[in-house]
Amino acid sequence: MSEFVSSKYNFIRPFKTDDLTRLGRDADGGYILDKKIILESKYLISFGLGDDWSFELDLIARNKNIEIHVYDHTINTSIYLSKIFKYARRFLTFRSDFNSIYSRIKEYLNYKSFINHKNVSFFREKVSSPANYNYESDIKKIFSRIDLNKNIILKCDIEGSEYEIIDDLMKVSSSINIILIEFHNIGEKDELFTQSITKLKEKFNIIHLHGNNHANILTSGLPEILEMTLLNKSFEIDTSEQINSFPIKDLDFPNNPYVKDLFFSFKKSS
């Protein structure tokens, strides 16, 4: 493996800014964004929720007026209830203790509390392009549910489907303040990854990178899964200095807290 990330990826080096902050837990589920965006945003559109909504709750705590639209077709009430019944059966047959049941009940109650929050609208729909089925939504449908020309934070973690929606996102880029996106399978989709970032950079500046340690570093020196923050160019920033080494102390934390974080560096320009 190279000591540095291959120079072909120099175009993704983020610009240095002192306005970065972390929302969400210090593990998978936490994201980095620009501080000034928080109060200037009207909506968060969140693609992919999973079992963690610490980012969304932190955002509400910082901006009590923000409206959150969540899209995730992989979770629902029955999933949480089935876990409760599973551990209840184990408890009755002496294969589990009460704490195991209690923790699943707590997970369910936390989930219900979040999706029923007054700031949150939950759509059990798959983000796709095109949307061919009634359980799918494309960007046009998603953005039709909000007021356009509003300031939007877009969070995207949809396990590889992010590449499908880049062109559609560019059509509504003027409404998006900041994009928090995770790119998957970069080694396998190298050309598509490069094309996607090139398109996004037409309207956005990259201001943060972090490697997801649920995967490894590629032979190119770049993480297989890469978290990226992109700020709309309508927000002026100093572009005279870029960041070369990651992760950033006291800002980034390993997605999997039980495994060492991924360290990678770009060779400094001479």
Can you give the CATH number for the domain in which 28 is found? 3.40.50
Q: Check: CB of residue 182 under 8 Å from CB of residue 196.
A: no
Structural domains counted in the chain: 1
Q: Is residue 117 part of a domain?
A: no
Q: Say whether pLDDT at 149 is over 70.
A: no
Query: Within a domain: residue 53?
Result: yes
Instruction: Tell me the whole-structure pTM to 2 decimals.
Output: 0.91
Assess if residue 108 is contained within a domain.
no
Alpha helices in 69-189 (DSSP H): 77-92, 98-115, 139-143, 166-171
Q: H or E element: which one contains 61?
A: helix 54-62
Please report whether residue 115 resides in a domain: no
DSSP string computed for 172-198: TGGGEEEEEEEE--TTTTHHHHHHHHH
- DSSP of 15-31: BP-S-EEEES-SSTT-E
Question: What integer pLDDT is reported at residue 2 of this predicted model?
Answer: 56
pLDDT digit string, tens, across residues 77-105: 877 777 777 767 766 676 777 677 777 88
Give pLDDT tens digits for 189-211. Answer: 999 999 999 999 999 999 999 99
Instruction: Give the distance from CA 219 to its chain's centroid.
Output: 24
Which two three-digit tokens encode residue 92?
């009755």
Domain extent at residue 155 = 7-75+124-265
187: which residues sit within 8 A by CB, 6+ positions away? 218, 220, 224
CB contact set of 202 (below 8 Å; sequence gap of 6+): 170
